[in-house]
């Protein structure tokens, strides 16, 4: 029984969805299960007691609750989830409204009204939930104090009706306050998570992807070519004689040089290409669906653009060059070996005079 209940509640949940989406899916499943059980049980009791109008209302609600859950599971789209939640809220409001009209069992129907605010706020969100509850409150007020003689099938005292609405408004206020606080807390946590992820995967100096973020991108690209059976190319670049720049002009100037070089590289890459700071004065290039010869053509343009661009350091303009090592990555070549090959080609470019693009 517990296994079946767990499977029912987890129906439609996917690891590809956000946590908030999965949470709403589970709550819809759980609420529909509870709604179906309670309304079906009470409907059968009303049917046995020959309270046919009440039985019809409750059994119809039971079917609607079940239908809302099936819509969410069957289609599995954001629109279907919205339809499912809207159907749940509407069904609950209509059910409670009808219970107010009929009085339910021994005039206890109005007690179910307190379910409406928290459920509506959770599923509809703060703004839409507040609007829905406002419409529901106006409808209840008109029912109790304007159309009571023509619509109500039972009688309530003025004190009962007024206090029911006052207490309902109090629960609505508390539910709205809780939902507003929850949404703000969730948005703050989401922003912090995105900031931490940005900091963890990006270099604070150049704003490029750092080695960690680049490694994730490399693995994703490698997994993609395993499926497509295509190739991509990588290249490691190292700024020539960068140590002499730090020694001559200082480390702060060296940082400025790295920023300007990253801007030169970024501005001349193709849209699909990826640039990362690999570490120190080294940069990593990822060229999706690109052969090594095609990557060399791009890198030669970068090399020339860099060597002909004067970089301002204080009152001086200096010309900086870079060496590049290239490797073509295929399904047959492990990613670690490809990075090592690119590094070996970079070393060869350095040893053979610098300001070169070498390919294995």
Q: What is the pLDDT of residues 208-257, one digit of tens each?
A: 999 999 999 999 999 999 999 999 999 999 999 999 998 888 989 999 99
Q: How many domains does the chain have?
A: 2
Residue 299 lies in a domain: yes
Q: Say whether both 150 and 270 belong to one domain.
A: no
Q: What is the model's pLDDT at position 61?
A: 87
Q: Residues 206, 174: contact at Cβ < 8 Å?
A: no
Which of 129, 163, 198 is at the close of a domain?
198
Contact 358, 345 (CB under 8 A): yes
Are 270 and 298 in contact, with CB atoms under 8 Å apart? yes
Percent of the chain with pLDDT over 90: 59
pLDDT for res 27: 83
Residues 118, 264 within the same domain: no
pLDDT higher than threshold 90 for residue 73: no
Residues 299 and 191 in one domain: no
Distance CA 82, CA 59 (A): 23
At residue 1, does pLDDT exceed 70?
Answer: no
CATH number for the domain that contains residue 221: 3.30.70.270
Confidence of residue 355 (pLDDT cuts 50, 70, 90): very high
Question: pLDDT tens, 148-198?
Answer: 888 998 999 999 999 999 999 999 999 999 999 988 988 888 788 777 877
Residue 298 shares a structural domain with residue 152: no
Last residue of a domain, one of 163, 198, 233: 198
Judge whether 11 lies within some domain.
yes
Residue numbers annotated as active site: 281
* 204 in a structural domain: no
Q: Are residues 94 and 192 in the same domain?
A: yes
Looking at the structure, tell me whether residues 185 and 84 fall in a common domain: yes
Whether 239 and 257 have beta carbons less than 8 Å apart is answered as yes
- Between 263 and 17, residue with greater pLDDT: 263
Domain interval for residue 184: 2-198
The answer to the question of residue 114 being in a domain is: yes
- Asked whether the whole model's pTM tops 0.85, one would answer no
How would you label 260-283 residue by residue, b for 16+ Cβ within 10 Å and e otherwise?
bbbebbeeebeeebbbbbbeebbb
The answer to whether residue 320 sits within a structural domain is yes
pLDDT at residue 72 in the model: 84
* Whether residue 286 sits in one domain with residue 163: no
For residue 284, is it within any domain? yes
pLDDT in tens, 120-154: 998 888 999 999 999 999 999 999 999 988 899 89
Alpha-carbon dihedral angle through residues 157, 160, 165, 168, given to the nearest 10 degrees:
-150
Beta strands 322-329 and 357-359, pairing class: parallel
User: Could you tell me if 116 and 133 are in contact, meaning their C-beta atoms sit under 8 angstroms apart?
Assistant: yes
Residue 78, in any domain of the structure:
yes
Compute the distance between CA of residue 324 and CA of residue 349 in angstroms, rounded to an integer. Answer: 7
């Amino acid at each position: 029984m517990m296994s079946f209940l767990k499977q029912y509640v987890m129906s439609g949940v996917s690891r590809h969805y956000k946590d908030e989406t999965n949470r709403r899916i589970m709550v819809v499943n759980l609420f529909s299960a509870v709604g179906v059980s309670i309304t079906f049980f009470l409907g059968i009791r009303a049917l046995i007691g020959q309270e046919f109008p009440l039985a019809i209302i409750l059994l119809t609600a039971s079917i609607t609750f079940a239908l809302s859950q099936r819509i969410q599971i069957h289609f599995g789209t954001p629109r279907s989830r919205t339809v499912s939640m809207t159907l749940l809220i509407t069904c609950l409001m209509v059910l409670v409204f009808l219970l107010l009209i009929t009085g339910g069992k021994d005039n206890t129907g109005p007690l179910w009204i307190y379910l409406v605010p928290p459920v509506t706020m959770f599923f509809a969100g703060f703004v839409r939930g507040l609007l829905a509850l406002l419409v529901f409150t106006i409808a209840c007020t008109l029912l109790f104090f304007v159309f009571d003689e023509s619509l109500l099938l039972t009688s309530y005292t003025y004190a009962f009706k007024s206090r029911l609405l006052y207490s309902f408004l109090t629960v609505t206020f508390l539910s709205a306050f809780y939902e507003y606080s929850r949404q703000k807390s969730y948005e703050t946590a989401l922003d912090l998570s995105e900031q931490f992820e940005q900091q963890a995967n990006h270099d604070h100096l150049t704003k490029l992807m750092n080695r960690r973020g680049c490694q994730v991108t490399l693995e994703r690209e490698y997994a993609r070519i395993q499926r497509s059976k295509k190739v991509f190319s990588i290249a490691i670049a190292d700024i020539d004689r960068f140590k002499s720049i730090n020694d001559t002009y200082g480390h702060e100037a060296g940082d400025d040089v790295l920023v300007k070089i990253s801007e030169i590289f970024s501005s001349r890459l193709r849209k699909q290409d990826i640039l990362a700071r690999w570490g120190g004065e080294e940069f990593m290039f990822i060229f999706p669906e690109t052969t090594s010869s095609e990557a060399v053509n791009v890198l030669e343009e970068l090399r020339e653009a860099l060597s002909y661009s004067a970089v301002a350091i204080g009152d001086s303009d200096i010309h900086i060059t870079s060496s590049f090592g290239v490797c073509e990555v295929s399904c047959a070549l492990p990613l670690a070996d490809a990075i090592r090959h690119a590094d070996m080609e970079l070393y060869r470019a350095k040893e053979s005079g610098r300001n070169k693009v070498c390919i294995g």
